[in-house]
Each structure stands twice: as C-alpha cells, then as structure tokens.
Amino acid sequence: MQQISLENLVQHVSPQWLHLLTSKERSQSIVLRDGLQRLNAEDLAEIMEAVIQEHAKKYYYH
C-alpha cells in the first residue's frame, strides 16, 4: 500500500486535470492498494469523482 496526496497523484497521471480540484481536495490523502505504477487515467477519474463528491457533502446551498 502507498499513501499519496491527490495533488501528487494527479500530477503524476493527468496533470491537466489539476485545475478541477479545490485546494482542500488536492490535499486529500489517497491510499493506493497496488501502488502508483498500476494506476491509469480511468482509475484517477474515479478517485477524483469520489473526493469531489465527499467534499461537496459538507456544503449546503439554498
């Protein structure tokens, strides 16, 4: 297992997606079961989606 910040993960796999994340989302720690070498863009998209959804739950809009 490997722990890495989402920002470092995005910079390694798809740096063009970094602008989609807030600073809090970028600092989120991610644990990779199989390490960074086996991660692809589709996996990263799923991780980013989950982090964005989790952080969006904290804000209420009316």
Per-residue pLDDT of 14-30, as tens digits, reads: 999 999 999 999 999 99
Q: Which domain holds residue 12?
A: 2-56
pTM for this entry: 0.84
Question: Could you write out the three-class secondary structure of the chain?
Answer: CEEEEHHHHHHHHCHHHHHHCCHHHHCCEEEECCCHHHCCHHHHHHHHHHHHHHHHCCCCCC
Q: Does the residue 14 lie in any domain?
A: yes
Q: Does the residue 61 lie in any domain?
A: no
Our count of domains for the chain comes to: 1
Grade residue 55 by pLDDT with cuts at 50, 70 and 90.
confident
Give residue 7's identity as a one-letter amino acid code: E
Grade residue 57 by pLDDT with cuts at 50, 70 and 90.
confident
* pLDDT at residue 42 in the model: 94
Q: Does the residue 62 lie in any domain?
A: no
CA-atom Rg of the chain in angstroms: 12
Q: Does the residue 51 lie in any domain?
A: yes
Q: Does the residue 48 lie in any domain?
A: yes
